[in-house]
Amino acid sequence: MALETDYIVIGSGVAGLRASIELAASGARVTVLTKDKASESNTEYAQGGVAVVLSDDDNAELHEEDTLIAGAGLCDPQAVETLVEDGTKYIKQLIEWGIEFDREGGKLAFTQEAAHSRRRILHAHGDSTGKEIVRALIARARQEKGIVLMPFANTESLIVRDGRCVGVRFLDPILRAPREIFGRAVILCTGGAGQLYLHTTNPPVATGDGMAMAYFAGAEIADLEFVQFHPTALSVENAPRFLLSEAMRGEGGILRNKFGARFMGDYDERLELAPRDIVSRSIVAEMRKTGTREVFLDMTALDEEFLKERFPKIYETCRFYNLNIAKDMLPVSPASHYCMGGVRTDLHGRTTVEGLYAAGEVSCTGVHGANRLASNSLLEGLVFGARSGQAALTDNSEFKIQDSKFNTQNGESENESLKTKIPNPKSEEISTAVKKRVKRVMWERVGILRDKDSLKRALREFEQISEAKLSTSSRNFVTLAKLVATAALWREESRGGHFRTDFPAKDEQFRVHSVQKLGAPISSSAQVNFDVRKANEAQK
């Protein structure tokens, strides 16, 4: 039997939790589906902090300018203005809700990060900012009686009826069988897709399902070619790529090659504080030049007690691998970290499918352009999570939920369509093998440095994989990989997080956004954000 609620939120990171709180405050029933425990998301792993204009020597114009510069000409100025101005309001609200940002002498402590012109980064417990934000938001969400958190509920697809998203198909965590839930609207807050790559700082849940599900539901996807690779992931054999925060370079960390020489001066005058894409490519170039698989982050000029207090989680993690961040050179190399592209939305989280909203890393609002400015991601999730919740309420308050036993995407009855999708061990083995292959191809052919031949070879391989009988999760995974590679092949220039060795310069004719939609060839748009409601009316 299908379930029913007022609003469905998929994901429990900063965007999902903030959207849920906004919805429930109106008295609505909100069901939050998440594939792992409620606190497991990219948000929880965010070390660097959250950028916000609150210090005396800062202002909104400076933060906007820094964001626009990092975005390499593809940021939407209105989206950036919304982020910065609303961000201050919502961070103050978080403080009122009890979040514990680090302080010095009773005042908020602001730190510096790459490409920021001011010290405007707030941290919590040194390098556990995301975890603290999730804690505070979950505590606030539990005060709302209308919110039901459903962990370990893996969403498989969106249910679309007459061009409108009316529900979600998911794996029931108790029955271990597919079920359907219907509501007035669905808000995607599923995070990014770092797991598309062999090496990533993202947790296992960041598989990009939300983007793929939205694509299959008919939503437009924008700017997927822009993938940010974090320059400094811990590179230790048989260890996960643990993120060594941007803030470590902000506090004075130096990058050195295998000979101990500082090398960033050979690539950019901003040295270690250059934007992430430049630092990542510089590291790759240096590794190739010296014939190594890593470079080193040197923090030894800083006091150990300071480092222990400033980066407690990093300090302890490195200790586990027999590294002292105050005394040892830390082996690092780039890893996939953040998706600038995603489901195309307006400034209120509306997608091009009625009833479907998106916020956070799964979305493309135009805030990040071609390259995200450090520590803007938590702020984006907070701001646009709230805004999508507000829009979902306003747009759908009169919509009547009409449960049905028919799935209009494939015309099968609920029982018939669901009973074929119950997972079995053999299909899970195939799924694991498929994802491993995709991850390696993405890393080798659609990674930090790209070219036409490699991208075409990747697409041919993805097409071959797609011909096999795949599970829903595998189909989503391969489809998203194809979309990223297609966009990367289409953009014959280098800009932000996208670098083509065969087109190494920016090209003004590509100062547009890539747009992909099911059943249509890739196209371009002068802007990401537009009046979605007018567009939907025009389509009707």
Please write the tens of the pLDDT for every residue from 514-523: 999 999 999 9
Q: 353 with 326, same domain?
A: no
Residue % of the chain over a pLDDT of 90: 76
Q: 348 with 257, same domain?
A: no
* 176 or 439, which is more confident: 439
Residue % of the chain over a pLDDT of 70: 90
Q: Is 54 buried (19+), middle (13-18) or exposed (0-12) by CB count in 10 A? A: middle
Give me the CATH number covering residue 180: 3.50.50.60
Q: 97 with 12, same domain?
A: yes
pLDDT digits (tens, 9 = 90+) for 201-228: 998 889 999 999 999 999 999 999 999 9
Mean pLDDT of 109-125: 87
pLDDT band at 426 (very low <50, low <70, confident <90, very high): low
Last residue of a domain, one of 396, 422, 437: 396
Lowest mean pLDDT among 220-224, 442-446, 508-512, 524-528: 524-528
pLDDT band at 417 (very low <50, low <70, confident <90, very high): very low
Given the residues 18, 276, 344, 495, select the one marked as catalytic: 276
pLDDT band at 419 (very low <50, low <70, confident <90, very high): very low
Q: Is 126 among the domain residues?
A: yes
The single-letter code of the amino acid at 473 is S
pLDDT digits (tens, 9 = 90+) for 280-299: 999 999 999 999 999 999 99
Q: Is 526 among the domain residues?
A: no
Strands, E assignment, 153-266? 154-161, 164-172, 177-182, 185-188, 221-222, 227-234, 254-256
Give me the CATH number covering residue 299: 3.90.700.10
Last residue of a domain, one of 396, 413, 434: 396
| pLDDT(533) > 80 | no
Q: Is 39 among the domain residues?
A: yes
Q: How far apart are CA 392 and CA 532, in angstroms?
A: 13
| pLDDT(48) > 80 | no
Q: 13 with 126, same domain?
A: yes
Q: 165 with 56, same domain?
A: yes
pLDDT band at 401 (very low <50, low <70, confident <90, very high): confident
Q: Compute the mean pLDDT over every residue in the chain, rounded to the nearest whole number.
A: 90
Q: Can you tell me whether residue 158 is helix, strand or coil?
A: strand
Looking at residue 35, its pLDDT comes to 85
pLDDT band at 176 (very low <50, low <70, confident <90, very high): confident
| pLDDT(465) > 80 | yes
**Residues in CB range of 101: below 8 A, 6 or more apart:** 95, 108, 109, 122, 123, 124, 132
pLDDT band at 40 (very low <50, low <70, confident <90, very high): low
* 276 or 54, which is more confident: 54
pLDDT digits (tens, 9 = 90+) for 241-271: 888 988 899 899 999 999 999 999 999 999 9
Q: 204 with 282, same domain?
A: no
- Kindly report the number of other CB atoms within 10 A of residue 259's CB atom: 8
Q: 12 with 91, same domain?
A: yes
| pLDDT(39) > 70 | no
Q: Is 195 among the domain residues?
A: yes
Mean pLDDT of 122-136: 86
* Number of domains composing the chain: 2
Looking at residue 425, its pLDDT comes to 56
Q: 265 with 353, same domain?
A: no
Residue 365's φ and ψ, nearest 5 degrees, are -95, -15
Looking at residue 416, its pLDDT comes to 36
Looking at residue 534, its pLDDT comes to 62
Q: 104 with 178, same domain?
A: yes
Q: Is 265 among the domain residues?
A: yes
Last residue of a domain, one of 376, 396, 416: 396
Q: Is 272 among the domain residues?
A: yes
Based on C-alpha coordinates, what's the Rg of the chain?
Answer: 22
Looking at residue 360, its pLDDT comes to 97
Q: 110 with 245, same domain?
A: no
pLDDT digits (tens, 9 = 90+) for 309-368: 999 989 999 999 999 999 999 999 999 999 999 999 999 999 999 999 999 999 999 999
pLDDT band at 405 (very low <50, low <70, confident <90, very high): very low
Question: pTM of the full predicted structure?
Answer: 0.90
Q: Is 348 among the domain residues?
A: yes
Q: 126 with 197, same domain?
A: yes
Q: Is 322 among the domain residues?
A: yes
* Annotated catalytic residue 276: yes
Q: How far apart are CA 428 and CA 209, in angstroms?
A: 16
Q: 7 with 143, same domain?
A: yes
Its domain, for residue 295, covers 237-336
Mean pLDDT of 511-538: 84
Please name which of 205, 207, 188 lies closest in space to residue 151, comparing C-alpha atoms: 205
